[in-house]
Amino acid sequence: MKYADLHIHTNFSDGTFSPQRVIEQARGAGLACIAITDHDTVYAIEPAMQEAEKLGIELIPGVELTAELDDCEVHILGYFIDWQAEWFRKKLEQICDVRKKRALSIIEKLGALGIKLDVDEVMREAGFGSVGRLHIARIMQKEGFVGSIQEAFRKYIGRGCPCYVKRFRLTPGEAIDMIHRLKGLAVLAHPYTLGNDELIADFIQLGLRGIEAYYPEHNKAKTEHYLRLAEKYGLLVTGGSDCHGLGKDRILMGEVKIPYNLVELLKKEAELLKSGQK
């Protein structure tokens, strides 16, 4: 039986593993196929492709775009995207600039509460690619302001907390459109965070093709709930661990894995899309 983990971050976003290390880890976990889905960046894909070829792992090029709708964040995964498209890279660079500004305003808000972080240290932690709250949380923990990453999110930078800053660039419709233009499949990530299933029908109207039913925070009942929704709406089913290397205390890769036949269904759909039949 072959398995796949279709939600993995590298150190080009807020994971801690290099693209090469992700591929090695995938082999160690016995996975036949993975997707790299960094937040708003695709720089990891090329180096990962090279390593994947060497180690005989199938790599699906992906991305996780952050969109915003009223008061909620919507993460849209894109699979089989044309990750080399020049317009897309430019767009991602603009998005990453907004991320940088947002990080600065989060740091400023923390500072007002007496949590003084060194901006350069946070940017060093983020490295090349996209900066996000997990980088800030790690420095907060390193500097002893919080005892854990969870505490940083719960008390300060999680949604609804005093230092939370929204400021993202895309609406869900724009994110789905971008993936569509890249001939990729748009999939709703960790649907439990949406907290409102009714939005899913709207997203389908906008071009959503799949839903991430298998996810570490989904218990059996939740997973079954989203599988039923997928069936009701004719959505493809995906799943993955959302592994951030050691960025979330524990290596999650392979803890959530899906049977390879689901990947085959995704591939079929992506091929139809690319050949213009859909």
The one of Zn ion, Fe ion, ligand AMP, none whose footprint includes residue 66, by CB under 5 to 8 A per kind, is ligand AMP
Count of residues interacting with Zn ion (CB under 5 A): 1
Stretch that binds Fe ion, among 12-20, 69-77, 135-143, 261-269 (CB under 5 A): 69-77
Q: Which of 14, 38, 40, 242 binds Fe ion (CB under 5 A)?
A: 242
Q: In the stretch 192-221, what mask flags binding to Fe ion with x, by CB under 5 A?
A: ------------------------------
Judged by beta carbon, residue 58 or residue 151, the one nearer ligand AMP is 151
Stretch that binds Fe ion, among 67-75, 148-156, 249-257, 258-266 (CB under 5 A): 67-75
Minimum gap (Å) between residue 77 Cβ and Fe ion: 8
Task: Examine residue 40 and tell whether it contacts Fe ion (CB under 5 A).
Answer: no
Judged by beta carbon, residue 43 or residue 270, the one nearer ligand AMP is 43
Minimum gap (Å) between residue 232 Cβ and ligand AMP: 27
Q: Determine the Cα–Cα distance for residues 127 and 135; give it in Å rounded to an integer.
A: 10
Judged by beta carbon, residue 9 or residue 91, the one nearer Fe ion is 9
Q: Are 203 and 101 in contact (CB under 8 A)?
A: no
Q: Determine the Cα–Cα distance for residues 137 and 43; give it in Å rounded to an integer.
A: 23
Sheet order of strands, 33-36 included: 236-239, 210-214, 185-188, 72-79, 58-69, 33-36, 3-8, 258-259
Q: Determine the Cα–Cα distance for residues 242 and 170; give it in Å rounded to an integer.
A: 21
Task: Examine residue 75 and tell whether it contacts Fe ion (CB under 5 A).
Answer: yes
Q: b/e string for 102-128 if b means 16 or more Cβ within 10 A? A: bbeebbebbeeeebebeeeebbebbee
Judged by beta carbon, residue 158 or residue 173, the one nearer ligand AMP is 158
Strand partners, 239: 214
Question: In a 3-state reduction of DSSP, which class is residue 1?
Answer: coil
Structure tokens at 158: 């999680």
The one of Zn ion, Fe ion, ligand AMP, none whose footprint includes residue 150, by CB under 5 to 8 A per kind, is ligand AMP
Q: For residue 97, which phi and psi values (nearest 5 degrees)?
A: -65, -40
Task: Examine residue 102 and tell whether it contacts Fe ion (CB under 5 A).
Answer: no
Report the interface residues with Fe ion, using CB under 5 A.
64, 75, 189, 242
